[in-house]
Amino acid sequence: MRSLLRPLVLAVAASCALTNLASAADSLKVADVVSAADLKAMIADAVSGLEKLVADEKAFAEADTRVRNSASVLAAFAQAASELEGASLSPEAARTLRQAAQDLAAAKEFGPAKAAFDRVVKAANGEAAAEPPAAIEWGKVARMHPSMEEMEQRATKLRRSLKRIRRPEEDAQMAASIGILGLVTYGDTHEVKDPADLPQWQAWAVELQEGMAKTAAAIREKDAAAATGHFEAAMKSCEKCHEKFQD
């Protein structure tokens, strides 16, 4: 797994610290983060989970923020599918799925949520809208807060699983899902108030993506020690980012 590096020209003069970074790290390609087979399974699992949350008005009301968060994750998966060569969905169907998931995440009442979920199901089965949504940047796929909440919850579950790898496929997909959410983090830079800090924000996001890709690979080898090492290194990137930009 490797990151791509490209120069990033900023409107402000580069400081010494910025010079030490050499250049802003480019986000990984989707194919470096998740396989087509894993992404297909992850989309199916996300749709299945959402089905329970919007089964009826009572379930929707009790779900609270879980619908928003889960739909935001599905939107990120759909965005990945729209860019991944060999994905189970066509780019048009993937973009349709992304938009339906975004609408579901934004729904405040059961009626609109159920209508959006019905569109989610159709798109997940390969049905594209008559006029598919246009491609968008990763920073516009999902709101930062639900993405961060999901990353934290998934990281907590994965840390427990790494103590003894019993479900390598599921755990590897969990790691990949965090990597995909890292693509959202890379693109959504609204927390960066000083343009000179942008390369650091993106470098840490890439470290997260790389770390989770390596974690997933080690999990499949059932190498708990290696997986844990890669996972903790990735989480350290998150901690450093939080310390600088949120605290």
Where exactly are the structural domains of the chain? Answer: 33-136, 139-245
For 3-12, 17-26, 152-161, which range has the lowest pLDDT when averaged over its residues? 3-12
For residue 36, what are its two tokens? 């087509």
| Predicted confidence (pLDDT) at residue 116 exceeds the cutoff of 80 | yes
> Per-residue pLDDT for 97 more than 70?
yes
Residues 48-85: b if buried by 16+ CB within 10 A, e if exposed: eebeebbeeeeebeebeebbbbbbbbbbbbbbbbbebe
What 8-state DSSP symbol labels residue 56?
S
Q: How far is residue 236's CA from residue 208's CA, in Å, rounded to a whole number?
A: 9
Q: Say how many C-beta atoms besides its own lie within 10 A of residue 229's C-beta.
A: 16
- Return the minimum-mean-pLDDT range out of 70-84, 147-161, 197-211, 222-236: 197-211
pLDDT at 8 over 60: no
Is the pLDDT reported for residue 5 higher than 60?
A: no
Q: What's residue 10's pLDDT?
A: 30
**pLDDT at position 243:** 75
Name the residue among 157, 162, 150 with its Cα closest to residue 220.
162
The CATH class of 139-245 is mainly alpha
pLDDT score of 144 more than 90? no
Has residue 15 got a pLDDT over 70? Answer: no
Distance CA(174)–CA(151), nearest Å, equals 10
pLDDT of 163 higher than 60: yes
Look-up: residue for tokens 């019993």? 166
What pLDDT score does 25 carry? 54
- Confirm whether pTM is higher than 0.75: yes
pLDDT band at 186 (very low <50, low <70, confident <90, very high): confident
